Chains A and B, each alone.
Chain A
Amino acid sequence: MKTDNTMQMLEKVKRVDVSPFLFSRIEQRIHTLNKNRLSMKIVWLSAAALGLLVLLNIHLINNFSGQGKADNLTAYAESMHLSPSDNLYNE
C-alpha cells in the first residue's frame, strides 16, 4: 500500500458523537473526588496543631531535664533544713 493510499484511508475515519451519559459520569467522579479531598484549611490547621505540640514538648523537655530536677531537689532540701550532701556523717 502506498503512503498516499494509507493517508487517504485515514481520511475515511469519521468523527463521532460522545455518549449522552458521559457528562453525568464525569460529574459523579468529580463529586466523589471533591468529597474525599481534605480542604486546605483542615490540612493547615492540623499542621499548625502538630507544630505547636512539638514546640510544647521541646519546651517541657528543656525545663524539666535532669539538671533542672537536681537543682529543684537541692533547693527543696535546703528549705527543709536538710543537708543536700550525700555524706552521711558530715565528715
Chain B
Amino acid sequence: MMKKLPQADFKDLYDKYSGMVYNLSLSYVQNIEEAEEITQDVFVKLSQNIHRFENRSTTETWIYRITVNTCLDFLKARKTKKRFGFLVSLFQNTTNEPLPELSHFNHPGVELEHKEALANIFRHMNQLPERQKTVLILARLEGKSLKEIALITNLTPKAVESLLARAKQNLAQRINSQTRE
C-alpha cells in the first residue's frame, strides 16, 4: 500500500528544500523557466516516492540525488529535442527561420556586472562530462565537502577529488583555448 505524505509534511519538506532544489537546478540549466520546471518535477517525484525513502541516507542527501538525476535527465531530453528538432523542421512546412534557441542564459543569481564572464564560464561548464559538471557544481556552487559529494553521487571521496581536479583542469583549458583563438 502506497504511503501518502500528509499535506502539512509535504509543505514542510517544500519550505525546507525548495531553495536548495531550485538553486541546484539553476546551476545546471542557468534558466529560470527550466529550473522551475525541474523543481516541479523533483517535488512531484518526492510526493510520489516518499514511501521508498529509506533512512540509509539523510533526507537532504536523498533530495540532492533526486535533483541531480532530474537535472541530468532534463539535459539529456533537451539534447535529444535539439537533435531531432532539425528533422522536425525538415518535415514541417515552415520558412527558413532559424530554430528557436532552446534556452538562453537567464540566471537570476548573476549580477549584471559579472553576467558576461559567468555566462562564458557556464557555457564551457556545460560542455564538461556530466559527472565532472556535477562534482564541480556541488563543490563550488553548493559548497559541499568531498565527503558530502561522495554520498550524493555514490562515489568514493578519492574518486570525487580526482573528478573535481579533472573538472577544474578541463574548464581552465577550454576557457584558455577560447581566449587564445
Contacts and interface: CB of A to CB of B under 8 A. Distances in A.
Interface of A: 1-3, 6-7, 9-19, 22-23, 25-26, 29-30, 33, 40
B159 interface: no
Interface stretch (B18-26, B90-98, B148-156): B18-26
Interface residues of B, number: 35
A9 B121 contact: yes
B47 A7 contact: no
B26 A3 contact: no
Nearest to B171: A6
Interface SS of chain A: helix
B114 interface: yes
Contacts of A3: 168-169, 171-172
Nearest to A21: B36
B35 to A, nearest CB: 9
Contacts, number: 77
Interface SS of chain B: helix
B117 to A, nearest CB: 6
Contact of A10 (B43, B140, B169): B140
A16 B23 contact: yes
B109 A15 contact: yes
15 contacts: A2-B172, A3-B169, A3-B171, A6-B172, A6-B175, A10-B141, A11-B140, A16-B23, A23-B14, A26-B43, A29-B40, A30-B43, A30-B48, A33-B44, A33-B48
A15 B19 CA distance: 8
A16 B104 CA distance: 18
